[in-house]
Amino acid sequence: MTEQPDEPEPTQLARNMSELLQELRVAQAGVQILFAFLLSVTFSARFAQATSLQRGTLIVTILLTTVSAVLLMAPAAWHRRYFRQGRRADVIRWGSRCALAGLLLLAAAMSGAVLVTTAAIVGSTVAIILACATAVVFGTVWLLLPMSRRADRRPLRHGQTATVGCTIRRCEGGPR
């Protein structure tokens, strides 16, 4: 959620709320698909032969997915509850926190799903390695890369150009 210069606060809050809800729509689709997959696994014929590791991981993964769904849906519920009550800033602040927590739990659930499914194919040891690698990929792409990009937000000096993601920033004024 970005800030636009000279944007009135009500406009900014409306835009930030819209952006938050749009981001949640994208994440929610992934949670719903994962949840449906996990539930279908328990009713498959092969699940009767699952190891205790697979069963335990499946239960934990289902619970992680459930809590992730709760957190990712909470901002939409709050928006509906506090609609036109002047609480948009609160909904955005707490909704952003819930969205981040929900995404972290989704990453953990996805790693658990990798463990459950690959254990049935390649065995527990390789499955654990693949699940850990999945968690590392999520952590790198969702946490470490964005944190490393914060350094790119340093103020620019006059005439200096910087690339931030796909955006090119150029300072036209300020100290020389």
| 3-state DSSP assignment of residue 154 | coil
- Name the pTM for this structure: 0.73
What is the average per-residue pLDDT within 105-123? 93
What is the average per-residue pLDDT within 105-110? 94
Residue 136 has a pLDDT of 96
Q: Which amino acid is at 135?
A: A
Greatest mean pLDDT among 14-28, 67-81, 123-137 = 123-137
Are the C-beta atoms of residues 75 and 20 closer than 8 Å to each other?
A: yes
| 3-state DSSP assignment of residue 4 | coil
**Among candidates 173, 63, 169, which has minimal Cα distance to 113?**
63
Residue 139 has a pLDDT of 92
Under the banding of pLDDT at 50, 70 and 90, the label for residue 2 is low
Are the C-beta atoms of residues 99 and 27 closer than 8 Å to each other?
A: yes
